[in-house]
Chain A
Amino acid sequence: MAKIRPDYETSWFGRLMHWLENGSTALDDAMTDEMDAHSRDHLVDSEHHHATQEHALEERRHAALEREQRMYSSLHQWASTKGSRLMRWVYIVASVVMCVGIIALLLNTAANLPPYGDPDNPVNNEVSAHYITQGQAETGAVNIVAGMILDYRAFDTLGESNVLFIAAVTVLVLLRLAPSRDGKPTTEMLEAEADDRLYEPKHDMILQHQANLLVPLILLFGIYVVMNGHISPGGGFSGGAIMGAGLILYLNAFGFRKTERFFTFRTFQIVSLMALAFYACSKAYSFFTGANHLPSIFSPGTPGMLFSAGLIPYLNIAVGLVVCCTMYAFYTLFRKGDM
């Protein structure tokens, strides 16, 4: 049999293999053993289980652990006194150097830019000329901006709606109080609700009459801006924000009970998910066809009519619904922690 190294367990390679197999170093094992022994001593009288062989092994393990602890403690001591001062100086010098470097780089870039509005600029190439001359004929949208972001570049707008959806999901994960199992509100929810409207005037008659008059008008205006995204300035994002603002006004005037009669968590889930899925199903083929634009079954139609421009009105409606639900979700999650 070949020679077995006597100090394998305390050598560097031995400790590395131990860490790879068990996921913890000898120091962690010693700490857990000490904590277990501590709790055991408190509960039960410890009996003697040591044989002499195990005793010798333990002595060697203890020596290795002593060395490791001394190394770590000296490192820790250095880091806490001289190391922190050194790091502060390094940090200050490095930040100043980086700031000056980046400022010099940006100023140099700004000084060497081509003159503004020059016809030889790289920006004025045939792509923008094509968008301006052929945009209305190809997409059917009178508003060229809407035609660009929802027809030529629809895939990018899918990414933007995705980002909104992810933001709403993140806020839900962080702020939502655990829903109750049996339908009755938990104490946390009741406390949050009581804390929320503490200093606010409740059931204000003037505000309620005004909201009765204004909320339908705001929602109608929001729907108008969404639907006319391809004819006049507007589109899904601004129309969705206006609709969200209308819902927030209703919530402020009438309280949570009345708003939950038509907008619950289930409504939010279904509406935003279906809208985003519709957008994704209709425009995600770009993954597979590269940059080739498939001819869509919806023809551009006559420009200026409400239902022209192919898929653009429907995509506007999808984006508007996602934005509206997201804005309302943010507001009510911040206020109450639930929807």
Chain B
Amino acid sequence: MLDIIRFVISAALTLAGLFCLLSGVVGVYKFRYALSRVHAAALLDTVGILLMLLGVIVATGFTVASLKMLVVIAFLWLTSPVAGHLIGRLEVTINDELSRDADVLDQDYVEQEKVPETTTTPADDTQEEAQ
């Protein structure tokens, strides 16, 4: 009886995790703006990994391998959201028309993040060499 309950719980968790990961992939392809794509990738990746690995932990029982999988979950929860945050911050730095793509709540932060235009780019170097 306990085996059947364990099997059903682990199967449900694994399938839910698989569904989350697949939705993340579909979202990365279908969304229009970069910030929405980052949202889909980072969030759904994290939750999908959690559900899937929890399903595998329930299936294997209480061994050393399950402790290692808990450590893997902690590591991935530390790195995936930070990666999404960094990509979002880069998008704010680069995108010129941010108010068209997203609701800007703090315009001063956006101004401060922008890169100043007075830097040497390769185009300037070749022009100087030609002269």
Binding site for B on A (CB under 8 A): 191, 194-195, 198-201, 204, 206-207, 210, 213-214, 217
Contacts and interface: CB of A to CB of B under 8 A. Distances in A.
Pick the 6 closest A-B CB pairs, nearest first: A201-B89, A210-B82, A206-B85, A206-B82, A210-B78, A198-B115
Residues of B in contact with A, size category? 10 to 19
B78 A213 contact: yes
Contacts, number: 32
Contacts of B120: 191, 195
Contacts of B8: none
A195 B82 CA distance: 24
A228 to B, nearest CB: 15
B36 interface: no
B86 interface: yes
B93 interface: yes
B131 interface: no
Most B CB within 10 A of own CB, among A191, A198, A201, A214: A201
Interface string B74-106: 010011001001100110011000000000000
Contacts of B78: 210, 213-214
Given A204-B86, A206-B85, A210-B82, 5 more contacts: A194-B119, A195-B119, A204-B85, A206-B82, A207-B85
Given A199-B93, A201-B93, A214-B78, A207 B119 contact: no
10 contacts: A201-B86, A201-B89, A201-B90, A204-B85, A206-B82, A206-B85, A210-B78, A210-B79, A214-B75, A214-B78
Contacts of B115: 198-199
Contacts of B82: 206-207, 210
Contacts of B94: 199
A160 B113 CA distance: 45
A210 B90 CA distance: 18
Nearest to A214: B78
A163 B68 CA distance: 35
A195 B113 CA distance: 16
Most A CB within 10 A of own CB, among B79, B86, B113: B86
Contacts of A200: 90
B119 A204 contact: no
Contacts of B113: 201
Nearest to B71: A217
Interface in B11-28: none
A322 B78 CA distance: 29
B93 A204 contact: no
Given A206-B82, A210-B82, A214-B79, A198 B119 contact: yes
A194 B118 CA distance: 12
A284 B88 CA distance: 52
Interface in B22-51: none
Contacts of A207: 82, 85-86
Contacts of A201: 86, 89-90, 93, 113
Nearest to B93: A199
A10 to B, nearest CB: 45
Nearest to A211: B82
Nearest to A217: B75
Nearest to A213: B78
Nearest to B82: A210
Contacts of A195: 119-120
Contacts of B90: 199-201
A200 B87 CA distance: 10
Contacts of A204: 85-86, 89
Contacts of A194: 119
A3 B75 CA distance: 93
Nearest to A194: B119
Contacts of A214: 75, 78-79
Nearest to B94: A199
A195 B119 CA distance: 8
B114 to A, nearest CB: 10
